[in-house]
Structure 1
């Protein structure tokens, strides 16, 4: 066995990502909200970094900094950035269309104030309202409520009945069955068969097993269908339409696409983030002609970090702008005529045309939105795969196939709904060569039930 040791020199190429490169890539894929949070964190940790939230105030009028001298001192690379024209006169903020939503609890409180009840009962009613969940359901028993507020079961039950008599219909229910029955009672419906269906067959209704319900109850399938149609007119979530304080998300677009004089223009949303700059009080420390000390080294390091953050944000905006420019070139018919004209487009195709890696495009559009004449769109949704069509002589967008699938289902005979196999055959007749399994996949993505669950009697 040879156990000799020797030294050898080898030459190899290896890509090593520095911490700053990793951070730049991370910022590229951040959503607007995530980037806002990151900037807030940096503002707290970096004393030389400051933010201007007043967009109308020019950065050249206040705290003007000679960045050329600072950059020359720090010997940075190119920290220039591309300027984007933002016509604020015509800009329409999406927040202009967000109206003030009435709280469900406020709405109930208004009704409680008008009750012809004593103050004690009203306070129990208010406590019950405070225990309603985001759906408008009461997830606590009357026994627990009585024990918590030291009231009698009778008073608590009476107060709950009062809440259940208020608007919206079904409020204060303890489960779906009670929710539906409260609404029927308010309509004056007293059909025992209908109430029996709600108590015993909701799961079978969800599976559209009308035959089973018909046999077990002993009524016709047509009559069962009528009962189900009536149940579907009821509201399973009484809080719908009211602000409940949960699951509320606002989408702020990263850019606006406007059509001006038959040309589409990209306006980056500069209001999404604050204007960042370096505090002018710190620049004098590093620009002095003195020997370096710990203070100046600390300031130099912080300015280095601040300038890198500013550059990374501008790089993020520049990359998004280039991606959107390419999307507009390739999807002009979509922006002109609508979603039916969305062409197949992949990340790789866009990346090759703008000279970046496919992963860069993927990060640049992650959780990013753009405001268009068709509303706010997720950029990722503009990228679709294609099905090769020999008949049409061109690739067909998956979106177009899904639209056709929806059309077939919408126009089908509901007594004899189309199976996935039949839908596949119909699509093939139109040059869309996809299998039954693919049809099932697209149908589920569209939220369309299977043929057995779409059948009506």
Structure 2
């Protein structure tokens, strides 16, 4: 063997993570709202991009999925869900302006039909706007200004309003507030007592027992027996009825009425304020029933970004470019715009393809309910659509589909499988959880189902499940054990 330098030519393949590829992957796993925000940034950054102002495609232009023969119509409740989630055939186009479809009635003004003297386009006035809800501290501050005439008491009350937590508790001791304000403890205690009767009643209390006691006193129901019950809430939490009857000096019937009265009180009087509205879920895919019994899928045109490349503007700029840097800049912007359009088109087709296969696999769920949800994993969809599992995972992340049964995240339809008894058909873990919840909801208060009893019933239905799995699913559903449920059902609400 000789040691000498030589030249070899080898050919190999490797994946290079270019910035454009990273961008495409990021767009694929982002929701429509996130993609829209990204496209808005690109519209500002790239002069060759512009919005597509053409009319959106109609609902019948979507992808139809007809995996099974037509089934009977869904119940009225599900039909209502369709009308709420998806546009009807007679609805106005999604891109229509309100002034194009709004009929102001038979009134004809001197300035034109539906017009105004100042030629403003907005016909609504400030009186049509809904008033925003007041916060907890705003409502308490107004009551403090009206309820305290003494400036020193008003200052102490304002300090307590600033310290109260969102649930309405004020765990700070009166002595601490008095030391900070430089006043007597008795004065702070008197101000706190008055604040506890403000609306909502029961605020500014240190403990749960004190909060409930203030509400009962406001209703003139704080008798010695009820006070004894409040002093022994730990016995009530353990469902120790015998101990409660002994310390309260009442019989079983009176104790039941007292507990029912406690349940009607508000343990957190401030929790109903300052609650931000739940964020609305905007579906990425719309699904509706076809006339032949199949399903029609389409991307939501309300949130799907649509852009175009202005090639005419590019041609004019190319002709007027004087320097090499200008031509390089235009070429980079054109390449970036073309890549963005290609990424958006590929993202849309991938989402539709994956959603179509999910609907095909879970057709029984959409027709009959959650008890017919089939076990499904990413590999099943990836093999059918000929994609990698990681691609399917990115497609189903942060994506929602509006169906006749409600709006679901695409990840919802992927559940683990539970074996059937005697080698029978496998069952979805989500369907089994739903079955456990339904069993417990329908159980007899006199014969509460234990975990072993639930296992026996499920095995009789063909589900091979262990007792620890039933306990795990029950705890995930936040359902107490059979012993605790038996105690709770012994105390009527």
Q: TM-score range by the shorter chain?
A: 0.7 to 0.9
| Structure 1 segment 66-81 matched on structure 2, within 5 A | none
Aligned counterpart in structure 2 of residue 250 of structure 1, from 280, 287, 290: 280
TM-score, normalised relative to structure 1: 0.73
Kindly indicate whether the alpha-carbon contact (under 8 Å) linking 2:141 and 2:158 is maintained by their aligned counterparts in 1. no
| Structure 1 segment 271-310 matched on structure 2, within 5 A | 271-272=302-303, 274-278=305-309, 283-284=314-315, 287-288=318-319, 293-310=324-341
From the superposition, tell whether residues 218 and 403 of structure 1 become closer, same or farther in structure 2 (CA, over 3 Å): same
Kindly indicate whether the alpha-carbon contact (under 8 Å) linking 1:412 and 1:418 is maintained by their aligned counterparts in 2. yes
Kindly indicate whether the alpha-carbon contact (under 8 Å) linking 2:46 and 2:337 is maintained by their aligned counterparts in 1. no
| Greater gyration radius | 2
| Structure 1 segment 18-97 matched on structure 2, within 5 A | 18-43=18-43, 46-48=45-47, 52=51, 57-58=53-54, 90=91
What is residue 264 of structure 1 aligned with on the other side? 295
From the superposition, tell whether residues 59 and 336 of structure 1 become closer, same or farther in structure 2 (CA, over 3 Å): closer
What is residue 15 of structure 2 aligned with on the other side? 15
2:441 matches 1:405: no
Deviation, 1:115, is 4.5
Q: Could you give the per-residue CA deviations for residues 358-385 of structure 1, whole angstroms, max 9, x where no partner exists? A: 2222211112222233332222212223
What is residue 448 of structure 1 aligned with on the other side? 479
Greater alpha carbon shift after TM alignment, 445-454 vs 188-197: 188-197
What is residue 196 of structure 2 aligned with on the other side? 164
Give the Cα–Cα distance (whole angstroms) in 2 for the partners of residues 452 and 384 of structure 1.
Answer: 30
What is residue 135 of structure 1 aligned with on the other side? 167
Give the Cα–Cα distance (whole angstroms) in 2 for the partners of residues 42 and 239 of structure 1.
Answer: 44
| Structure 1 segment 170-185 matched on structure 2, within 5 A | 170-185=202-217
Give the Cα–Cα distance (whole angstroms) in 2 for the partners of residues 220 and 440 of structure 1.
Answer: 37
What is residue 210 of structure 1 aligned with on the other side? 240
Deviation, 1:441, is 1.2
Give the Cα–Cα distance (whole angstroms) in 2 for the partners of residues 10 and 366 of structure 1.
Answer: 40
Aligned counterpart in structure 2 of residue 372 of structure 1, from 394, 403, 408: 403
Give the Cα–Cα distance (whole angstroms) in 2 for the partners of residues 229 and 183 of structure 1.
Answer: 14
Give the Cα–Cα distance (whole angstroms) in 1 for the partners of residues 62 and 455 of structure 2.
Answer: 48
Greater alpha carbon shift after TM alignment, 336-345 vs 442-451: 336-345
TM-score, normalised relative to structure 2: 0.69
Give the Cα–Cα distance (whole angstroms) in 2 for the partners of residues 273 and 129 of structure 1.
Answer: 46
Aligned counterpart in structure 2 of residue 439 of structure 1, from 449, 463, 470: 470
Q: Could you give the per-residue CA deviations for residues 109-151 of structure 1, whole angstroms, max 9, x where no partner exists? A: 6972994653856676566545544334446666676778888
Greater alpha carbon shift after TM alignment, 357-366 vs 175-184: 175-184
Kindly indicate whether the alpha-carbon contact (under 8 Å) linking 1:417 and 1:451 is maintained by their aligned counterparts in 2. yes
Q: Could you give the per-residue CA deviations for residues 383-428 of structure 1, whole angstroms, max 9, x where no partner exists? A: 2233232479532222332222123222334466333223222211
Name stretches of at least 5 consecutive residues in structure 1 with no aligned partner: 61-82, 94-98
What is residue 372 of structure 2 aligned with on the other side? 341
Deviation, 1:234, is 3.2
Give the Cα–Cα distance (whole angstroms) in 2 for the partners of residues 127 and 92 of structure 1.
Answer: 54
What is residue 72 of structure 1 aligned with on the other side? none
Greater alpha carbon shift after TM alignment, 152-161 vs 369-378: 152-161
Determine helix, strand or coil for the equivalent of 2:222. coil
What is residue 315 of structure 1 aligned with on the other side? 346
Deviation, 1:316, is 2.3
From the superposition, tell whether residues 313 and 192 of structure 1 become closer, same or farther in structure 2 (CA, over 3 Å): farther
Q: How many equivalent pairs are there?
A: 421
What is residue 133 of structure 2 aligned with on the other side? 102
From the superposition, tell whether residues 275 and 15 of structure 1 become closer, same or farther in structure 2 (CA, over 3 Å): closer
Deviation, 1:443, is 0.6
What is residue 71 of structure 1 aligned with on the other side? none
Determine helix, strand or coil for the equivalent of 1:394. coil
Greater alpha carbon shift after TM alignment, 321-330 vs 409-418: 409-418
Kindly indicate whether the alpha-carbon contact (under 8 Å) linking 1:108 and 1:129 is maintained by their aligned counterparts in 2. no
Give the Cα–Cα distance (whole angstroms) in 1 for the partners of residues 140 and 163 of structure 2.
Answer: 13
Q: Could you give the per-residue CA deviations for residues 2-42 of structure 1, whole angstroms, max 9, x where no partner exists? A: 9x897777665443333322221122112344434444554
Determine helix, strand or coil for the equivalent of 1:408. helix
Determine helix, strand or coil for the equivalent of 1:171. coil
Determine helix, strand or coil for the equivalent of 2:419. strand
From the superposition, tell whether residues 388 and 430 of structure 1 become closer, same or farther in structure 2 (CA, over 3 Å): same
Give the Cα–Cα distance (whole angstroms) in 1 for the partners of residues 4 and 250 of structure 2.
Answer: 91
